[in-house]
Structure 1
């Protein structure tokens, strides 16, 4: 059962898939009914799930689930991954590859490898207060308060300590 993303409760469980490139406006528009249909059809052991899916910052596919209605099973999570894999093939985009880190630099999402991150810190492109998209946030509440968060407040904090570059 589809639930508008902004109506998911703070406790809703999230899965964040970071794209290797921004979704185009045309792709985003075409994906809206596809994402809504996925959320409508998503089930767990035959029970409808209260779910939503949305593209955020033109770069992230976020799937949300109100587990107070019904929990996701292993099979339903597998189904969501197959859905994401289908989008990857259809759009020629990577959503499951996790080697890049995403920062908000001058209002734009910038993807960096660990090596590029060290250089970006050295040259001042990325600073301790640069917003970082920690895609391990697990709930709607965390998404609203900690995504993005200043890089120094995340697992990246050691990168900003003297002598760690």
Structure 2
């Protein structure tokens, strides 16, 4: 059953898929009915799932599921991945590639290759307060509270930690 994200409880499970480019307004309008149709038809072992599906920031496909109504099974998760793959094909985008990280910068949303993360931190172009879209959030509550979040408050915090001092001789008492 298709619901809005506002109707999902904070405990609802979420999956975030990041596109390799922003969608145009025409693409978003064209895909809207497909998102609603998927959420309406999505089932688990014949039981209707209470789901919401939407694009945010023109670049993130988010699927939300109220597992208190009915939980996702392996088959229903497979169906959602097939749906995402169909969107990739229809829109000529990549949603399943995890090679890029998304940040909100002065010019808007920016993608950074994972391999460029350390150099960007070293150059100061990426800092602990840079808003990061952590697509590993698992619940609607996390999505609402920390998406985006300052990079230094996510799994990226280790990139901003000061270098550990070299181990020296033990202190004498």
Give the number of aligned pairs.
Answer: 164
Aligned CA-pair RMSD: 1.3
Please say if 1:70 is aligned against 2:89.
Answer: no
* Segments of 4+ moved more than 6 angstroms: none
Deviation of 1:107 (Å): 5.6
* C-alpha displacement of 1:124: 2.6
- Structure 2 match to 1:16: 16
Moved more, 83-92 or 117-126: 117-126
Q: How far apart, in 2, do the equivalents of 1:99 and 1:161 lie?
A: 23
Corresponding residue number in structure 1 for 2:96: 96
The Cα shift of 1:93 comes to 0.3
Aligned to 1:29: 29
TM-score (norm 1): 0.95
Distance 2:89 2:114 in 1: 26
3-state SS, counterpart of residue 61 of structure 2: strand
Q: Deviation of residue 6 (structure 1)?
A: 1.8
Residue in 1 that maps onto 2:122: 122
Q: Which has the larger radius of gyration?
A: 2
Residue range with higher mean Cα deviation, 100-109 or 61-70: 100-109
For residues 22 and 126 of structure 1, the distance between their equivalents in structure 2, rounded to whole angstroms, comes to 21
Unaligned runs of 5+ in 2: 165-173
Gaps of 5+ in 1: none
Mapped to 2, the partners of 1:143 and 1:48 lie a distance apart of 23
- 1:143 match: 143
CA distance in 2, matches of 1:107, 1:27: 22
